[in-house]
Amino acid sequence: MLTSVKEALKTILENTEDFGTESIHFLEATGRILKENIIADRDFPPFDRVSMDGIAIDFEMFEKGQKTFEIENVQAAGSPQKTLEAKENCLEAMTGAILPKNTNCVIPYEKIHIEDNKATIQEENLRFFQNIHAKGKDQKVGDVLIEENTEISAAEIGILASVGKEFVKVAKLPKIVIVSTGDELVDVNETPEVHQIRRSNVYSLYSLLEKFKIKADLKHINDNKEVLEKTVKTLFENYDVLIFSGAVSKGKFDFIPEILNTLGVQKLFHKVQQRPGKPFWFGKKENKTVFAFPGNPVSTYVNCIKYFYSWYEKSVFGQEKTLDTAILSEDFTFKPSLTYFLQVKLENKNGETFAIPEKGNGSGDLANLVSADAFIELSNEITEFKKGMVFPILKYR
């Protein structure tokens, strides 16, 4: 009996794992998932900050009609705060410097003329606290700057540095192995015989997992039942997640489901009401998780994005991410009572995303993945999909 896509995903999301946390250097944290709130250890900015190169004055003197100010000193960025000694004078002040004491207005060099150590303002309209970034205007000490479960980007790296967070707590990455099986497969650097092909699925999966900064190990096992069983048993001892590509259907050498059963792995479902990717097998053994995808490349690809991505994101974030949607750009018909993952090109028109079908040659058509940007998920409840209808999409570009 086939499991519906909805039930398969529900089962997967009910069997997530918490892999814990680890502390890493902040420069290694890009792309990782933050597992602590980052708190401001001081105001942002931490002082009244000069935001343009120029002169700093007491605004009251300008209001009284004074236009020319003798330069007392220079307030450089990074230097201790200086003091304006005479209200009728000014200090030169550089971008990023702390605002000198007794000043409250900065006029940029472009609007002054300096001669004989005197600055003459060539601007009629000034305002109090002009060109000054006020202390604490952005954030206050104690404010949460980055919330837990944020994916760390270059922007977050800058914040981590600014609060002195050299080491940061992130979600620990699971140990994952990607396993291909089959005598028909040779490696990328080998020349295949006429009856063979090069391994590609494992490398696609490896690259798909890099989205989460996961560096999976790769393993290939030939179609020998005893060797398969012995090797898979060892893999369970060393990895948190086993991802198989191939040997899960009804072929004479499709040993994976039988071997997993022998090794005590609980089958949670086998075969999903979808195309491509129907023979998908999912199971658990204690805190170990198994994704056994069918061997056709498009099947492997769509199942990884639909199911593994959802499982991993729920494991790490604690909740399922909302899928993007797109508008079908033309009528499409699919009659089998299966959820269909149709490959599409995406196009943005006036802020809306449209999905243009890219009809390939079935689940073995690896090359067609290059022509598309995503899969659009078409429900098994209807057979006629009309132009303008909106459906979820699984983007991979």
pTM of structure: 0.85
Measured distance CA(377)–CA(245) in Å, rounded? 22
Q: What is the pLDDT of residue 320?
A: 85
Confidence category of residue 313, pLDDT binned at 50, 70, 90? very high
Mean per-residue pLDDT for 58-76? 97
8 Å CB contact between 112 and 53: no
| 3-state SS class at 177 | strand
Strands (DSSP E) along 87-172, which ranges?
89-93, 105-108, 112-115, 118-121, 132-133, 144-146, 167-171
Confidence category of residue 197, pLDDT binned at 50, 70, 90? low
Q: What is the mean pLDDT of the chain?
A: 93
8 Å CB contact between 184 and 197: yes
Residues pairing with 348 in the sheet: 353
Of 371 and 83, the one with more pLDDT: 83
Confidence category of residue 362, pLDDT binned at 50, 70, 90? low
Q: How many CB atoms lie within 10 A of CB 4?
A: 15
Handedness of CA 292, 294, 300, 306 (dihedral sign): negative
Tokens of 49: 């900050």
The percentage of residues in the chain with a pLDDT greater than 70, rounded to a whole number, is 95
Q: What is the pLDDT of residue 247?
A: 67
The answer to whether residue 361 scores a pLDDT higher than 80 is: no
Q: Convert the pLDDT of each residue in 141-173 to its tens digit.
A: 999 999 999 999 999 999 999 999 999 999 999
Q: Convert the pLDDT of each residue in 249-276 to its tens digit.
A: 766 657 889 999 999 999 999 999 999 9
Q: Which of 38-47, 139-148, 200-209, 374-383 has the lowest mean pLDDT?
A: 200-209
The answer to whether residue 194 scores a pLDDT higher than 90 is: no
Mean per-residue pLDDT for 213-224? 90
Q: What is the pLDDT of residue 225?
A: 87
- The secondary structure of 265-281 as a DSSP string is PEEEEE-BSEES-TT-E
- Residue 280 burial class via C-beta count within 10 angstroms: exposed 0-12, middle 13-18, buried 19 and up: buried
The answer to whether residue 192 scores a pLDDT higher than 90 is: no
Q: What is the pLDDT of residue 383?
A: 94
Among the listed residues 180, 188, 389, the one whose alpha carbon sits nearest the alpha carbon of residue 300: 180
Residue in this structure with the two tokens 């499982």, named with its chain if needed: 311
Q: How far separated are the first and last CA of the chain, in Å rounded?
A: 34
Q: What is the pLDDT of residue 191?
A: 77
Residue in this structure with the two tokens 């922007």, named with its chain if needed: 155
Measured distance CA(388)–CA(327) in Å, rounded? 5
Q: Which residues contact 220 (CB under 8 A, 6 or more apart)?
A: 179, 180, 181, 185, 187, 199, 202
Measured distance CA(372)–CA(308) in Å, rounded? 20
- The secondary structure of 202-240 as a DSSP string is HHHHHHHHGGGT---EEEEE-S-HHHHHHHHHHHHHH-S
Measured distance CA(210)–CA(199) in Å, rounded? 18
Torsion angle (degrees, nearest 10) of CA 212, 321, 382, 283: 60
